[in-house]
Amino acid sequence: MPPRPGDIIELDVTSLAYGGQGVARLDEFVVFVRGGVPGDHVLARVTRRRPSHAEARALEILAPSPRRVPPRCLHSSECGGCEWQTLAYEAQLEFKQQQVVDSLQRIAHLTDYELEPIRGMDDPWRYRNKMEFSFGTDEGGRLVLGLHKRGSWREIVDVQDCMLASERMNRARLAVARACRDLGLPAYSREGDGGLLRHLVVREGRSSGDLLLNLFVAARFPQEADLAERVQADSGCTSFAVTVNESRADAALGDGPYVLVGPPSLRERVAGVDLQVPATAFLQTNSVMCEVLYAAALRLAAPEPGRPSVDLYCGIGSLSLPLAQRSREVHAVEIQQEAIDAARVNAELNGVANAAFYAGDVRPLLRFPPHPALDAARADDGDRPAVVVADPPRAGLARKALQRAAALGADRFVYVSCNPTTLAGNAAELADLGYRLAVVAPVDMFPHTHHIETVALFERS
């Protein structure tokens, strides 16, 4: 009999599912268990039943897994930040690699490729160069600035020292919270009673030491300049900005940034190129592993000095520029205009004159190509790219975008993925479009979380 919600059952957790939950079986019925790591024997309460599986939450670890380790963070039991920190890092790497292999097999039926061992971090802590903190109030009504409680959009854990952020980023967060309290600024409330403070995004240039703080608020407010001055004096930030989010959506989005202190961007250096990163543009969040990721992508891409390369979803050009240094030219596409503007500045900053950046959505842009190297109809002349690199968001490439990218006829297609399930879906489509999966190289950009990054090389059959 499959278990019912409310049932309390004993389970052996045997593996991890993509998404981070433990997997157990009750007879042959699959139960996903929050709070259980492989090897644990747990007492769990069933929270939900679906036709194919049930979900449960561990109430008590009856016998701990030999691969369990003590958490480093004081808040690990309540904070939603790094759910895998109680699993030994070596085991995390093993499971992540296995999840990539499983996704490719289950979704794309692909098994015949070279698997490079997952690359992990020597020191897998304090690796994030960007953190998004949320404002709230504690039980006594005091303003707090921390991370969402696991599974809750309302409650904020007043984290003292987040082990994913640098000590400097944590100090900056505490400085902002202190200054906001001193000025009597209230947290925003979705319950309709107003308030002001919503989120704080902290970004750090690990190579430059730049520290950019972007405060998300419900409206501009009179104490802005005072707040910026206090925070700068206390935290040593190089930039301080406010962004206005008037919507009810609980996201760090909005009108701005209005920069009150310092430049509107921070500086970072990756893969031998200097980058200006605007406050809202994408940058790989783990600077140390970004080097490893890009080294793998460039090695597998094998750009050719006499031929063009294409970089789709290029962001601020952080990978396009090293690609350009190894190619005849690069044609790079990105939807965010601000990122494209930064990519052009970055090209100039690094003396790269052979990179062309196009602002637009990949799918329509490849339908009306701005250059022959992006034109499938011209695929056989000297403009045919040696390699197409694609680094899409989590959803992967839409079918039409993938078809058009494949139609460019590059010898190699290098796919940088932050989601093994959409990578696998696209891999199956690429196989139908004449690209054989040759090499898979997982890279651990996000230790202690379930997120997995993979570089995959497809070769034109």
Ligand X SMILES: C[S@@+](CC[C@H](N)C(=O)[O-])C[C@H]1O[C@@H](n2cnc3c(N)ncnc32)[C@H](O)[C@@H]1O
Residues 369-428 that bind ligand X (CB under 6 A): 391, 393
Contact region with ligand X (CB under 6 A), list: 190-198, 251-259, 315-323, 449-457: 315-323
Nearer to ligand X, 50 or 394 (CB): 394
Contact region with ligand X (CB under 6 A), list: 52-60, 218-226, 327-335, 426-434: 327-335
The answer to the question of residue 334 lying near ligand X (CB under 6 A) is yes
Query: Count residues contacting ligand X (CB under 6 A)?
Result: 17
Buried b (16+ CB within 10 A) or exposed e, 5-17: eebebebbbeebb
- Which residue in 79, 82, 314, 418 is the catalytic one? 418
- Binding-site member from 61, 292, 319, 388 for ligand X (CB under 6 A): 319
- Binding-site member from 42, 110, 252, 339 for ligand X (CB under 6 A): 339
The answer to whether 418 is a known catalytic residue is: yes
The answer to the question of residue 362 lying near ligand X (CB under 6 A) is yes
Cβ atoms of 15 and 37 within 8 Å: the answer is: no
Q: How many CB atoms lie within 10 A of CB 77?
A: 11
CB of 296 to ligand X, least distance (A): 12
The answer to the question of residue 336 lying near ligand X (CB under 6 A) is yes
Contact region with ligand X (CB under 6 A), list: 15-23, 227-235, 334-342, 439-447: 334-342
Q: How many CB atoms lie within 10 A of CB 358?
A: 18
Pairing type for strands 265-270 and 329-334 reads: unpaired
CB of 140 to ligand X, least distance (A): 40
CB of 389 to ligand X, least distance (A): 8
- 113-118 contacts, C-beta under 8 A, 24 or more apart: 113/437, 113/438, 113/439, 113/440, 114/438, 114/439, 114/440, 115/439, 115/440, 116/296, 116/439, 116/440, 116/441, 116/442, 118/93, 118/94, 118/442, 118/443, 118/444
Q: Which positions from 275 to 314 touch ligand X by CB under 6 A, shown as an x/- string?
A: -------xxx----------------------------xx
CB of 363 to ligand X, least distance (A): 6
Q: Which two tokens stand for residue 238?
A: 């190089």
Q: Which two tokens stand for residue 84?
A: 């895998």
Nearer to ligand X, 111 or 337 (CB): 337
Nearer to ligand X, 272 or 393 (CB): 393
Angle value at C-alpha 204, between 256 and 321, nearest 5 degrees: 85
Cβ atoms of 380 and 409 within 8 Å: the answer is: yes
- Sequence length of the chain is 461
Cβ atoms of 448 and 124 within 8 Å: the answer is: yes
CB of 241 to ligand X, least distance (A): 19
Kind and range of the H or E run holding 357? strand 355-359
Any idea which residues carry the catalytic annotation?
418
Interface with ligand X (CB under 6 A): 282-284, 313-315, 318-319, 333-336, 339, 361-362, 391, 393
